[in-house]
Amino acid sequence: MNERDAVEQARILEHGWTGPEHVLLAVLAEPGLAAETLNGLGVTYQALAERLRSREDDPDLARAGSGISLNPAAQRVAGWARGFAAAQGPGDPRPEHWLVALLYANDRAAMALDPFGVTARALAGALGRRGAPVPAEAPAEYRAWRGVRHVMVAEEERRPVVQVLLRRHPPGSEWRWGFNLVGQPRQCRITAEAGIDLDAIVAEARAGKGG
């Protein structure tokens, strides 16, 4: 399994981005230990695909059929998957490496699993009982986002906006945020919890104060 499998899942759904949720779909699409573990907990390919399709009424999520690159969250998952695979020896990451990476790299996979009543810790435990190598430390439990808001900015505005966000709300601070590059032509969709004033952040970045 590799990044192209996740991109293919995004293409099938006609999504304009490839995120951790598409990596999870790719894991489910490949028969083996990882998919069997998920299926045993009630998470199936068809059920997850249907949930992701239900987001299609969101006008900000651009549609695309090809040329879909991994968003930053998915890129982080890919790095973790390669790291877990390298710790086990030579070779490309297997689906179980990708699944473990999904549980530890960020909370996007946990967000996708939450409607099924499956926690990251429960899934990590189930993988371990099936013989998959998992870290000794349990993954963090998912905490639902509080009052999600979105803004769309041009791709060239991404860096200054992110710089302001990093300064005001660095990783590990109270309020969370993230971004996706979506659509053709490319735009950047900034997502944040309600405690972050996105309009003020974008205005500050546009005023040239992000650098």
pLDDT at 17: 79
Q: Kindly report, residue by residue over 64-106, the tens digit of the pLDDT.
A: 544 577 888 899 999 999 999 999 888 889 999 999 999 998 7
Task: State mean pLDDT over 122-148.
Answer: 90
pLDDT tens column, 27-47:
999 999 999 999 999 999 999
Please give the pLDDT value at position 36.
Answer: 97
pLDDT at 57 > cutoff 60:
no
- For the chain, the distance separating the N- and C-terminal CA atoms, rounded to the nearest angstrom, is 39
| 149-154 and 187-192 beta bridge pairing | antiparallel
Topology (CATH) of 3-129: Double Clp-N motif (1.10.1780)
- Each domain of the chain, given as residue ranges in start order, spans 3-129, 149-206
The model carries a pTM of: 0.76
Strand partners, 109: none
Which element (helix H / strand E) includes 192? strand 187-192
Q: pLDDT-derived band of residue 153, with 50, 70 and 90 as boundaries?
A: very high
CA 180 to each of CA 111, 158, 191: distance values in angstroms, whole numbers, following the listed order? 16, 10, 8
Give me the amino acid identity at 157: E
